[in-house]
Structure 1
Amino acid sequence: MPPIMEKKTPKITDVARLAGVSTATVSRALSKPETVAESTRNIVLAAAEKAGYRVNLSARNLRRQRTGTIVVLVPNLGNPFFSEILAGIETALSKADFNMFVVDTKLVHIKPHLVSEYLHATRADGIIALDGSLPDEVLSAATSGRGAPPMIFACEWSPNGEFSSVRANNARGSELAISHLAELGHRNIGIISGPKDNVLTQSRSAGVLARLEALGLPFDPRHLFQGDFSLDAGARAALSWLDLTERPSALFCDSDQMAFGFISELARHGVPVPDDVSVVGFDDIDIASRYIPALTTLHQPRYRLGFSAAEMLLGHIRSTSSLAIETKILEVELIIRDSTSAPKA
């Protein structure tokens, strides 16, 4: 019986030989891809694949004194809005050989100590928070102490402005919505808002009121329906709208979810949109274009938002000195579909 030959484990030198570059270039291409040209990185990746070379992440992270884990704090994993943001985060992190550990903050709000437990369990290298309403004790647990990981916000932000953030131009988005409704001829416009203390709500409401004032249009406080970004909140707003003797002819909603809840509840009562009332959402989640009627809404570049947030955090992790607080604003786009039209004569 011939002797069994052990399969040789490919080494970095094998990759370098196949790629026609130095071992140092291979190392940089695999561990710090931003330091080499994209064409070089692609050649190295192809050579690594051909050689069957696999990076030992555990050993690399041990040398770097890192775990390769990023904790992402999400306010509601059941909300489809966050899926594209998480996809963007995951893409950016995976390119840098980092993993993502997602935590739903609904439970964290009830048990703030869980954040420090998650961080201790994962020994996270950084935190991305998508929830701007995190209690102070949670923020303190996440960022205080020697060697605390860097933390940034995405989508939402800390009201006191002490953390870097990536977010959409929320005020500009609501201004675009009001301008669109006014151009259609609407003069009585209501709001279905998010939670009163939420930074998104405050920013979008400020944009609405500023644009109404600029156009010389009044705002009736009775036409403000407080919600929580959910389908149920939109449905409750529809019932309140139906109870009014003088109804606004158009509604701006702080989220697509609330817009869907509003429209569907009106349909149950035989009230058609946009024939009897126009509706504008905010977010442009996937179903918005397939809904009946297709929803006029503000498109947030959610994937790019997540990707940019992850890149910003990675920059903080790699920095050897304290970085200044950054704020990156991404523009939104008004997508006009079938849920808005001129008011009834």
Structure 2
Amino acid sequence: MPQEARPPRIQDVAKLAGVSVATVSRVLSNPAIVSAATREAVRDAIRQTGYTVNFTARNLRQQQVGSVLALVPKLANPFFSQILSGIAEVLRKQGLSLLVLDTHGATDQPDLQAIAPYLNRSRSDGVIVLEGGLDPALFARPGCPPVVQACEWSEGLDAPRVLVDNAEGGRLAAAHLTGLGHRDILHLAGPRDNTLSQSRRVGFLEGLKAAGLSDTRRIEGDFSMRAGHEAAKAVMAMSRRPTAIFCDSDEIAVGLINGLVAGGLRVPDDISVMGFDDIELAAYVMPPLTTIRQHRAPLGRRAAEVLLARMQQKQHDDSTVLPVELVVRGSTAAPAR
């Protein structure tokens, strides 16, 4: 009976490439420290031999679980999809899985009892926190894996942050609307204690001040379409309606437009609306939504890279702020005379 061929080993790759086993390992785990010619030789040998990394064995040797946990508020929110995709892209190259936990579940508040059991090294090798409303004490317990904050953040949590320039987004929104000639602008803000809302508010007020405006009316809610739809009722009831509305998220703006149109107003003929985030839906609502674009996949990739550096005890940035940009579409125009 013919003997079954054994699977290719790392030694086979090293022999074919003419390098040491240690060099092959470096190409697989940290290719940046290996010359381009050596990387290509090793990768060509991997293709020829059909060698694949046994991640389970590697994780056992390194005393790793082989997964990273992402804590996400309200997973149904489409905003997080590209961030999670960016995280998964980086982890996949390292043979790590991405676990996602909805911190709110079916409630409006974080479910701390459901979260706490996952914050130990027997469940994950690292944690990316995408919610700023969690108690920092959760992550101070013995055995908690390395933590990185992304998108949202908590002032009390001592962990690296990967954010977008929310204040600049607020300034860009104010500059766009005032540049069109708007002087009576309503701000539909997120929760007052949310760090995203606070940063966007600061930037928005700075942008208004630069245009010679001292303040603006504000309605607070959450970041949901429901909040925008409810706000539309309040706007319709105002004796003096604003000529433009800046929303702290695209979901708020979509709900708002739906409510305004249902109430008989035209966007942007009667009132301009703009959002923040540039989720996929923003380009397909009617009219298409003017917004502030966050580059969410790069944010996710950078958060994963910083976490991997922490897990490997390598040098990393404590704070990364990614740029945003204004995307002008059909939901904003000069105010009607």
Using the size of structure 2 for normalisation, the TM-score is 0.93
SS in 1 for 2:276: strand
The farther-off stretch of 248-257 and 40-49 is 40-49
Q: Which residue of 1 aligns with 2:8?
A: 10
SS in 2 for 1:124: coil
Q: Which residue of 2 aligns with 1:81?
A: 79
What are the Cα deviations for residues 143-194 of structure 1, in whole angstroms up to 9, with x where unaligned?
Answer: 321x431111000111235221000100110111111111100001111111
How far off its partner does 1:287 sit?
2.0
SS in 2 for 1:271: coil
SS in 2 for 1:282: coil
SS in 2 for 1:7: coil
How far off its partner does 1:325 sit?
7.2
Q: Which residue of 2 aligns with 1:277?
A: 271
Retained in 2: the 8 A contact 1:69–1:122?
Answer: no
**Counterparts of residues 138-287 of structure 1 (less than 5 Å):** 139-145=136-142, 147-160=143-156, 162-220=158-216, 223-287=217-281
- In 2, Cα distance between equivalents of 1:149 and 1:339: 44
Paired letter, 1:131: E
Gaps of 5+ in 1: none
SS in 2 for 1:106: coil
The farther-off stretch of 240-249 and 60-69 is 60-69
How far off its partner does 1:98 sit?
1.7
In the superposition, relative to structure 1, how do residues 283 and 42 fare at CA in structure 2: closer, same or farther (>3 Å)?
Answer: farther
Retained in 1: the 8 A contact 2:274–2:290?
Answer: yes
- In 2, Cα distance between equivalents of 1:114 and 1:154: 21
Q: Which residue of 2 aligns with 1:338?
A: 330
- In 1, Cα distance between equivalents of 2:41 and 2:293: 37
**Counterparts of residues 85-100 of structure 1 (less than 5 Å):** 85-100=83-98
What are the Cα deviations for residues 274-301 of structure 1, in whole angstroms up to 9, with x where unaligned?
Answer: 0011111100111212221111110101
Q: Which residue of 2 aligns with 1:65?
A: 63
What are the Cα deviations for residues 185-216 of structure 1, in whole angstroms up to 9, with x where unaligned?
Answer: 00011111111111001111111122222322
In the superposition, relative to structure 1, how do residues 237 and 115 fare at CA in structure 2: closer, same or farther (>3 Å)?
Answer: same
SS in 1 for 2:90: helix
How far off its partner does 1:29 sit?
1.3
In the superposition, relative to structure 1, how do residues 195 and 119 fare at CA in structure 2: closer, same or farther (>3 Å)?
Answer: same
Q: Which residue of 1 aligns with 2:20?
A: 22
What are the Cα deviations for residues 286-317 of structure 1, in whole angstroms up to 9, with x where unaligned?
Answer: 12122211111101010111111111111111
- In 1, Cα distance between equivalents of 2:258 and 2:17: 58
SS in 2 for 1:295: coil
- In 2, Cα distance between equivalents of 1:14 and 1:329: 44
Using the size of structure 1 for normalisation, the TM-score is 0.91
Paired letter, 2:324: V
- In 2, Cα distance between equivalents of 1:315 and 1:287: 34
- In 2, Cα distance between equivalents of 1:131 and 1:37: 39
How far off its partner does 1:261 sit?
0.6
How far off its partner does 1:63 sit?
1.5
Retained in 2: the 8 A contact 1:188–1:218?
Answer: no
In the superposition, relative to structure 1, how do residues 24 and 88 fare at CA in structure 2: closer, same or farther (>3 Å)?
Answer: same
In the superposition, relative to structure 1, how do residues 127 and 53 fare at CA in structure 2: closer, same or farther (>3 Å)?
Answer: same
How far off its partner does 1:123 sit?
2.8
- In 1, Cα distance between equivalents of 2:35 and 2:138: 39
SS in 2 for 1:338: coil
What are the Cα deviations for residues 34-80 of structure 1, in whole angstroms up to 9, with x where unaligned?
Answer: 43245644543343243222211122112212222111000111111
Retained in 2: the 8 A contact 1:253–1:281?
Answer: yes
What are the Cα deviations for residues 76-126 of structure 1, in whole angstroms up to 9, with x where unaligned?
Answer: 111111011001111111122221111001039453132231234853111
Paired letter, 1:140: A
- In 1, Cα distance between equivalents of 2:232 and 2:265: 10
In the superposition, relative to structure 1, how do residues 121 and 329 fare at CA in structure 2: closer, same or farther (>3 Å)?
Answer: closer
- In 2, Cα distance between equivalents of 1:193 and 1:218: 17
SS in 1 for 2:58: helix
Retained in 1: the 8 A contact 2:126–2:307?
Answer: yes
Select which of 33, 36, 43 maps to 1:35. Answer: 33
Retained in 1: the 8 A contact 2:250–2:277?
Answer: yes
SS in 1 for 2:326: strand
Gaps of 5+ in 2: none
In the superposition, relative to structure 1, how do residues 110 and 173 fare at CA in structure 2: closer, same or farther (>3 Å)?
Answer: closer
- In 2, Cα distance between equivalents of 1:38 and 1:129: 35
The farther-off stretch of 104-113 and 89-98 is 104-113
Tell whether 2:286 aligns with 1:292. Answer: yes
- In 1, Cα distance between equivalents of 2:79 and 2:194: 16
In the superposition, relative to structure 1, how do residues 168 and 39 fare at CA in structure 2: closer, same or farther (>3 Å)?
Answer: farther
- In 2, Cα distance between equivalents of 1:189 and 1:39: 58
